[in-house]
Amino acid sequence: MSELRPIPISRPHFGPEEEAAVLEVMRSGQLAQGARVEAFEQAFAQATGAQYAVATANGTTALFLALLGHGIGAGDEVITSPLTFIATANAISQTGARPVFGDVDDSLNLNPRAAAALIGPRTRAIVPVHLHGNPAEMDAFTRLAERHGLALIQDACQAVGARFDGRPLGTLGTAVYSFYATKNLTTGEGGMVVTNDAAVASRCASLRHQAYSSTPYLHDAIGYNFRMTEMQAAIGIVQLRRLDEITSRRRSTANLYNEAISHSRFARPTVRRSDVHVYYQYTLRTPDEATRDTTRRRLDQAAIATGVYYPVPVHQQPPYRDLRSEPCPNAEDAARDMFSIPVHPLVSDDDRDRIVAVLAG
Ligand SMILES: *Cc1c(COP(=O)(O)O)cnc(C)c1O
């Protein structure tokens, strides 16, 4: 056993091009937000099909700015999924708004019917999360947002490169991305707002940089320092060029897992045929928590890392418990019976076979 090579749950996929890009920035003398950030924004807007992109320090600040850009603030309610990284709810709370959690469906994404049932007089926005890289039901959310005059902001932090009904996510309205170290496209830390609304884009760009105005050192409001560095942008530009290759390797590994588990006791979240799921995580459902835990132990003994994303739904987290949200039984069940196995592009053909063998055993 001891000679088994460990297979981590995630690993950044950097090569000599990323290294050269960082060195070039260091030697250029221009380290803070400049031409490379702008070039990354342009390339990213194009890749996601959006008209505008605003780079930020991380995904949390990107979501926070996108909410402010859409006018969300104190007294507002924002409907979102409880089955997400806590940052989604934190960014909502930091604007002064209150997150309202709707249950998920078999895709593990916010159920549009659950969201519809939660719309009230204070509701101002819906934030669907494309969990694990699997697109949420954007058609239903778009109709719902239009009917009720709500902002629709996608938490696409796990879904760079994903498509809904064949369309890149930036064509569906405002979306936010994270380039954290484990994400499909990484700059170490980093984030991006994409939008087709010029006013939203300019508010985000201004607030990111101390609410600068068109007059130098005259500021329109109390802003923030949420800027991205040129080092991050230089890495991002290279990673974006390699994104198709990264995504197709993740998808091919996922397809292999899909076949391997098709006649097993494991199930998986539903994926719409017309969507491109980018497999930030490859997630399995087990019959119960005990099976989940023993399966994870067997994988661990074979030096295969696993993870649960996420073991405590956000409405049950200490800072959110007091909101006394509606129960979200599907999210709570998933938190008990799901787990994720390595699917990142550095999982080799041999690694995949090892993982499949343990799952079958
Ligand atoms: C990673 C992530 C975030 C936050 O991004 P950071 O870059 O870590 O701030 C928000 N929402 C989801 C769903 C994420 O996966």
Per-residue pLDDT reduced to its tens digit, 79-133: 999 999 999 999 999 999 999 999 999 999 999 999 999 999 999 999 999 999 9
Q: Which pLDDT score is estimated for 361?
A: 83
Q: Are residues 151 and 55 in the same domain?
A: yes
CATH of the domain at 73: 3.40.640.10
Q: Are residues 64 and 175 in the same domain?
A: yes
Taking 90 as the threshold, does the pLDDT of residue 326 lie above it?
Answer: no
Q: Which pLDDT score is estimated for 266?
A: 97
Q: Is residue 350 part of a domain?
A: yes
183 carries an active-site annotation: yes
Taking the centre of ligand 1 as the mean of its atom positions, its distance from the CA of residue 157, in whole angstroms, is 5
* Residue from 140, 110, 142, 145 nearest 125 by CA: 145
Q: What is the distance between the alpha carbons of residues 82 and 99, in angstroms, rounded to a whole number?
A: 9
Q: What is the distance between the alpha carbons of residues 37 and 46, in angstroms, rounded to a whole number?
A: 14
Return the best residue to mutate from 56, 88, 130 for the ligand 1 pocket (most ligand atoms within 8 A of CB): 88
Q: What is the distance between the alpha carbons of residues 8 and 258, in angstroms, rounded to a whole number?
A: 20
Q: Are residues 130 and 210 in the same domain?
A: yes
For ligand 1, what atom is nearest to the CA of residue 84? 13
Q: What is the distance between the alpha carbons of residues 64 and 168, in angstroms, rounded to a whole number?
A: 22
The answer to whether the CB of 184 falls within 8 A of the CB of 246 is: yes
Q: What is the distance between the alpha carbons of residues 70 and 188, in angstroms, rounded to a whole number?
A: 27
Question: pLDDT tens, 206-258?
Answer: 999 999 998 999 998 999 999 999 999 999 999 999 999 999 999 999 999 99
Q: Are residues 95 and 56 in the same domain?
A: yes
Q: Which residues line ligand 1 (CB under 6 A)?
A: 58-60, 84-85, 87-88, 129, 155, 157-158, 178, 180, 191
- Phi, psi values for residue 191, rounded to 5°: -155, 170
Taking the whole predicted model, whether its pTM rises above 0.85 is answered as: yes
- Domain extent for 115: 16-241
pLDDT band with cut points at 50, 70 and 90 for residue 2: low
Return the best residue to mutate from 109, 158, 317 for the ligand 1 pocket (most ligand atoms within 8 A of CB): 158
Taking the centre of ligand 1 as the mean of its atom positions, its distance from the CA of residue 240, in whole angstroms, is 18
Set 70, 130, 163, 183: catalytic member: 183
Q: Are residues 256 and 341 in the same domain?
A: yes
Taking the centre of ligand 1 as the mean of its atom positions, its distance from the CA of residue 115, in whole angstroms, is 21
CATH of the domain at 248: 3.90.1150.10
Q: Are residues 54 and 192 in the same domain?
A: yes
**Total domains present in the chain:** 2
